[in-house]
Amino acid sequence: MTTSFPPAMRSRPVYGVLTARPGTGHLIVADGEGADAVTDMIAAATDAAAMLARSHIIYVPGPTGTDRAETLRALGAAQFHRSPSFAACLPRLQKVLADAQMGMQIYVAGTEGVIGQVQQQAMLAGLPWQAVQTEHRGSTVRRVQCVHCKGITEAVRTDPFPCSHCGLNLFVRDHYSRRIAAFQGVNIDAEDPGQVPPPVERFA
Amino acid sequence: MGLEFNDETFRGDYTFRNSAKAIARFPFPFAEDSYMYSVNMEPHLPGRPGSVFEHMFDVDEHYVAEMRDRAQVLAEDPLRCQSLPHMTLAGWDLLELIMESKARDYPQWFSLTKDGNRWHWINRPLQIEQSFTFLDETTLPYGPMEYITRQTQGDFTLQDQRDDNLWIEAGMVTTQADWSLDFDIGMSFHEWHAPVPLAHEMRVFDRALKFLLNLQLGAPVRRFNWTMTVDPLLDTSPENYPKWGPSKTTMTPETIGHRQHLRVELQTLHRLPRSNAIVFPIRCYLIKFEELVTVPKWARRLHRVVRDIPDELATYKGFIRNKPLMLDYLSKYDDGAPTSPGIWPE
β-strand A169-177 against A182-187: which pairing, if any? Answer: antiparallel
Q: Do A12 and B239 touch (CB under 8 A)?
A: no
- For B79, half-sphere exposure in the C-beta direction (CA atoms, 13 angstrom radius) is 15
SS3 B69: helix
Least confident range from A68-77, A161-170, B6-15, B314-323: namely: B314-323
Q: Do A177 and B195 touch (CB under 8 A)?
A: no
Residues of chain A contacting B193 with CB distance shorter than 8 Å: 10
Nearest residue on chain A to B184, alpha-carbon basis: A177
Output the pLDDT for position A130.
Answer: 87
CA-nearest residue of chain B to A174? Answer: B195
- Report which listed range, A3-7, B254-258, B314-318, is most confident: B254-258
Indicate left, alpha or beta for B34 from its phi (over 0: left) and psi (-120 to 50: alpha): beta
* Among candidates B186, B242, B249 on the partner chain, residue whose Cβ is nearest the Cβ of A179: B186
| Domain edges within chain A | 25-136, 142-201
Cα dihedral across residues B166, B170, B175, B176: positive or negative: positive
| Mean pLDDT (whole number) for B313-342 | 95
Domain boundaries, chain B: 20-62+157-331
- One-letter amino acid of A13: P
The predicted model gives A46-66 an average pLDDT of 97
pLDDT digits (tens, 9 = 90+) for B102-149: 999 999 999 999 999 999 999 999 999 999 999 999 999 999 999 999
| d(CA A96, nearest CA chain B) in Å | 24
Inter-chain CB proximity B194 and A150 less than 8 Å: no
ipTM: 0.92
Query: Is the Cβ pair B238, A179 closer than 8 Å?
Result: no
Compare all CA atoms of chain B with the CA of A187 and give the residue at the minimum distance: B242
Q: Give the pLDDT mean for A9-33.
A: 95
pLDDT at position B1: 44
Report the percent of chain A where pLDDT is more than 90: 90
Chain A interface test: which of B84, B180, B205, B247 (most A C-beta within 10 Å) = B180
User: Residue B201's pLDDT is what?
Assistant: 80
- The whole-angstrom separation of Cα A196 and Cα A192 is 8
* pLDDT score at B3: 61
The arithmetic mean of pLDDT across residues B55-65, rounded, is 98
- What confidence score (pLDDT) does residue B38 get? 75
Mean pLDDT of B318-328: 96
Residue of B nearest to A150 (CA): B239
Mean pLDDT of the residues in chain B: 95
Considering only the beta carbons, identify the residue of A9, A145, A148 that sits closest to B194: A9
- pLDDT of A52 above 60: yes
- Mean residue pLDDT of chain A comes to 96
Lowest mean per-residue pLDDT among A19-23, B36-40, B80-84, B317-321: B36-40
Q: Which residues from chain B sit within 8 angstroms of residue A180, using beta carbons? A: 183
Give the pLDDT band of residue B36 (cuts 50, 70, 90). confident
Query: Which class does domain A25-136 fall in?
Result: alpha beta
Mutation target vs B (from A14, A148, A170; most B CBs, 10 A cutoff): A148
SS3 at position B27: coil
Sign, CA dihedral B37-B43-B48-B54, equals: positive
**Across the interface, which of A147, A191, A192 has its CB nearest the CB of B183?**
A147
Burial degree of B243 (CB within 10 A; 0-12, 13-18, 19+): middle
The reply to whether residue B241 touches residue A147, judged by beta carbons under 8 angstroms, is: yes
- B184-217: pLDDT as tens digits: 999 999 999 998 877 778 888 999 999 999 999 9
Report the alpha-carbon distance of residue B79 to residue B181 in Å, rounded.
8
**Chain B residues lying within 8 Å of A190, measured CB to CB:** 241-242, 245-246
Residue A140: which of A32, A21, A18, A44 has the closest Cα? A32
Chain B residue numbers with beta carbons less than 8 Å from the beta carbon of A177 are 183-184, 186-187
Greater pLDDT, B204 or A106 = A106
Q: What is the pLDDT of residue A103?
A: 92
Please state, in angstroms and as integers, the Cα–Cα distance from residue B24 to each residue in B19, B44, B256, B293, B298, following that order. 9, 20, 21, 11, 11
Active site residues of B: 223
Give yes or no for B80 touching A (CB within 8 A): no
Partners of residue B239 in chain A, C-beta under 8 Å: 147-148
Q: Which residues of B are less than 8 Å from A176 in CB distance?
A: 191
CA distance B189 to chain A (A): 10
Name which of A119, A169, A177 to mutate to probe chain B: the one with the most chain B Cβ atoms within 10 A of its Cβ.
A177
Read off the pLDDT of each residue in A171-199 and give the average, rounded to a whole number: 96
Nearest to A177 among B183, B245, B249 (CB): B183
Least CB–CB distance from B242: residue in A9, A148, A174? A148
pLDDT higher than 90, residue A2: no
Contact residues on chain A for B190, CB-CB shorter than 8 A: 10-11
Whether the upstream peptide bond of residue A22 has omega within 30° of 0, thus cis, is no
